[in-house]
Amino acid sequence: MADLKLVVGLGNPGPEYAETRHNLGFKVIEALDEALGIVVKQQKFGARVGEGWYRDRKVMLMKPWQYMNRSGQAVATVAGFYKLGLGDLIVITDDRALAPGRIRIRAKGSAGGHNGLADIIARLGSDEFARCRIGIGDCPGALAVDYVLGRPREDERPLLNEAIVRARDAVLCWLESGTERTMNEFNSGPV
């Protein structure tokens, strides 16, 4: 197998979730689909996937097609099938701890209260994989479910659209140059 890199965007399947804050990971996969010409529609591994090339690397773009808190099964299945190392994986997700529109690249870390990341960590048995977090802003804990499953306010949309583009570019940088360079370039950049 060529040098396969797995790019996973987290979200919930179904049209009722398509435009919610929680589906920003899916939005970045769609932006990568367009940038790389990789069509993400094949159904396998409990996900929607597309495969192609970026530079000299084989890339699989993935949207796990279960609900958020069960995202790990599809990721673990692909990682096992292709015998991927944790360094071959990046997960893109929304993050309530970051201001709307901010992105943050990390080489590893806790789930930070995100159920999709928690399930991936549990299924892989490790938190040592790259992630690209996109800020959606915070809300009181009791309102978290309605907030993340809600649609962004009008004033948030331009910030989130810009963040999707920056996250796409960060993933392209990660594919080419790895996590450290991507963190250096994108964690210090503008909102």
Which residues are annotated as catalytic? 22
- CA-based nearest residue to 63, from 75, 79, 81: 75
Q: Are strands 57-64 and 47-54 parallel, antiparallel or unpaired?
A: antiparallel
For the stretch 31-35, contacts whose Cβ atoms lie closer than 8 Å and that sit 24 or more positions apart, written own/partner, are 31/164, 31/165, 31/167, 31/168, 32/7, 32/61, 32/168, 32/171, 32/172, 33/61, 35/168, 35/172
Distance in Å from the first CA to the final CA of the chain? 37
User: What's the one-letter identity of residue 26?
Assistant: F
Structure tokens at 50: 């597309």
Place of tokens 């940038």: 35
Degrees to nearest 5, angle at CA 99 with 93 and 102: 60
Is there a binding annotation on residue 161? no
CA 143 to chain centre: 23
Residue 23, annotated as binding a ligand: no
Question: Which residues make up each annotated binding site?
Answer: 17, 67, 69, 115
**Binding site members for tRNA:** 17, 67, 69, 115
